Structure 1
Amino acid sequence: MSHTAHIPSHRKPRRNAPKTALRAGVAGGVLSTIAVAGAAGPAQAEPVTQTIEMPTITSGLSTAVAASAQATQQVAQDLQTQAQEDAAAATAAKAAKKAKAEAVRKAEAKKKAEAAAKKKAEAAERASRTAARTTLSATSGSTASTTAASSSSSSSSSSSSSATGSAASVIAFVKAQVGDAYVPGGTGPNSWDCSGLVQGAFRSVGIDLPRVSQAQSTAGTQVSLSNLQPGDILYWGGAGSAYHVGVYVGGGQFVGAQNSSTGVVQRPLSYDPPSGAVRVL
């Protein structure tokens, strides 16, 4: 027998084989997993958490930020005010343009209405003149020869003395217009109506007569047809309601703007015997 047979062993007792095998298997699996991960790609580093200390905002920076905010707010207010002013200006311009267009439309309508009224009045005057002449011719037919005779005798005495002064100027004016056109409402210089011609003749010597025949037939002193003088105004119809006027030029003749067919003519009194006369000069 060996001399060491009775000495106790200092070795650790063997572990249970199954447990040892299990642990070896687990370790091997872990190592295999790590090896596969290493082969698949680099190992992912664990995230690092770092605390960054932010700088402290100083009082000066706070003031600058506040000023910048205030300036930004002011700019915004200015832009808003400008936008409001621009909108108001655009609205006012639109309203003004609309008002101008309306005013132009009304002016044109008024002008058309006045032209239509004038045309209607001229047509009525022509119709009235025609009717009055027809009536006058019918009522004075029996006395036409007597009127012509008395006019002829008065014209003989009148023509014996030539017109002078303003009367001569009036006569020269109307004779100068003989041959001009007759146009209702015409006042020269190349077209006339009856009262326009008479008014123009007397205006040439500084005398302003009314514009229409009715008023011209009462503008001076009523004179008899047997006592005519060159420059007297002849009228047809009643005094104050005359429809035609002319100027007596002496020698039993008158000048007048008769109608659109004849224009301004010089004719004997017998051509169209007048109803009366007024003396202005």
Structure 2
Amino acid sequence: MSHTAQIPSHRKPRRSTPRVSLRAGVAGGVLSTIAVAGAAAPANAEPVTETIEMPTLTSGLAGDFARSADATQRVANTLDLQAQQNIAAAKAAKTAKTAKAEAERKAEAERKAEAKRKADEARAKAAAAAERASRTAERTTLSNSSSNSGSSTGSSSATSTVSKATSQATGSAAAVVAFAQAQVGDAYIMGSTGPNAWDCSGLVQAAFSQIGVDLPRVSQDQSVAGTQVSLDNLQPGDILYWGGAGSAYHTAIYIGGGEFVGAQNPSKGVVQASLDYDPPSGAVRVL
């Protein structure tokens, strides 16, 4: 007997052929599946267990968004500026329209005032012309009468008239009469209030101011400054007026004895004359 005859053999028992074939078929199927999958995938494909990072897209979009926002802001600023300009233009147009209307209103008021002034001047000139015509006719009549009676008699009559007028005036009326008579011979200038030239109402106002009586400046107002009195009941110091009460165009001072003193016109100046020379329309009494 061999010395190794009692040692068990280490050789693996032979497997049966069917089991080996079965195992070989399973292994081949698995390998075939893996081979097919490997052939379908790209040669350089990463294992499926590796994380794939997507490219960052926001880096480019951020710039686009910023540019778009900036453009939008510029458009908004432009629209806002345009709106402000439109509002300013509308305000300027409104202001210009208001200023134009005001200028037209003032121009119209000035035009009316100028027209009224010219109309007043025309009426004053017409009244003065009528007065001059009346004075001329009256002067002619008086001249003829004086020629018939003689120069010496006329002079004596004038002297006695003045004396009578002075003797009838008393108190404040005497002061008014004396002031008026003192201006006889002064010039007549429309708008003048002395001391060497007068218009009719300026002389009357100045005469009464000597005794502290403040009369209105113009004839229209002086003709209603006191109590209306009859021409048949005149007293020295009464204010005579020509024209209507409140619309008179001439005033003078009655000094008594049928005489008055008044600043008549540029050709005569301040005169003392008879009521018959130029009969007044009415009279008012202030004293």
Task: Map 1:93-108 onto structure 2 (within 5 A).
Answer: 93-108=95-110
Query: For residues 136-177 of structure 1, what are the alpha-carbon distances to aligned partners after superposition, in whole Å with 9 as ceiling and x for unaligned?
Result: 6789999999xx999987764553366323x24533553565
**Gap change, CA 1:69 and 1:236, over 3 Å in 2:** closer
Structure 2: distance between partners of 1:106 and 1:82:
36
Tell me the TM-score normalized by structure 1: 0.54
> Residue type matched to 1:260 in 2?
P
Amino acid at match of 2:132: T
Aligned pair count?
A: 222
Letter in 1 for 2:228: G
Per-residue CA deviations over 1:227-263 (Å, capped at 9, x if unaligned) read: 7643133456899997753213468864210110232
C-alpha separation between the residues in 1 aligned to 2:225 and 2:277?
17
Q: 1:70 to 1:131 in 2, by over 3 A?
A: same
Which of the residues 91, 97, 110 maps onto 2:112? 110
| Kept in 1: contact 2:226–2:284 (CA 8 A) | yes
Please tell me whether the aligned partners of residues 187 and 196 of structure 1 are also in contact (alpha carbons under 8 angstroms): yes
- Which position in structure 2 is the counterpart of 1:56? 57
Indicate the SS of the match to 1:231: coil
SS of the equivalent of 1:220 reads strand
| Residue 121 to residue 223, structure 1, CA distance change in 2 (3 Å) | closer
Q: Specify the alignment match of 2:229 in structure 1.
A: 221
| In 2, Cα distance between equivalents of 1:188 and 1:126 | 19
Aligned equivalent of 1:280, options 270, 275, 286: 286
**Distance apart, 1:123 and its partner CA:** 1.8
> Partner of 2:219 in structure 1?
211
Residues 179 and 263 in structure 1, CA contact (< 8 A), matched pair in contact too: yes
| CA distance in structure 2 between the aligned counterparts of 1:174 and 1:212, rounded to whole angstroms | 20
- Percent sequence identity over aligned pairs: 42
Measure, in 2, the Cα distance between the counterparts of 1:106 and 1:206.
Answer: 35
Aligned to 1:248: 254
**Using a 3 Å threshold, how does the CA distance of structure 1 residues 76 and 173 change in structure 2: closer, same or farther?**
farther
Which residue number in structure 1 is paired with residue 193 of structure 2? Answer: 188
Relative to structure 2, which stretch is displaced further, 103-112 or 123-132? Answer: 103-112
Question: 5+ unaligned residues in a row in structure 2: which ranges?
Answer: 1-53, 150-154
- 1:57-107: CA deviations, max 9, x gaps? 269778756754553343122111112023213323443453354345434
What is the 5 A alignment of 1:58-137?
68=70, 70-133=72-135
Q: CA deviation at 1:134?
A: 5.5
Q: Which has the larger radius of gyration?
A: 2
Q: Which residue of 1 aligns with 2:170?
A: 163
Q: CA RMSD in A?
A: 5.0
TM-score (norm 2): 0.53
For residue 263 of structure 1, what is the aligned residue in structure 2? 269
1:131-150 aligned at under 5 Å gives the runs: 131-133=133-135
Gap regions ≥5 residues in structure 1 = 1-52
CA distance in 1 between counterparts of 2:63 and 2:124 reads: 91
C-alpha distance in 2 between matches for 1:64 and 1:181? 94
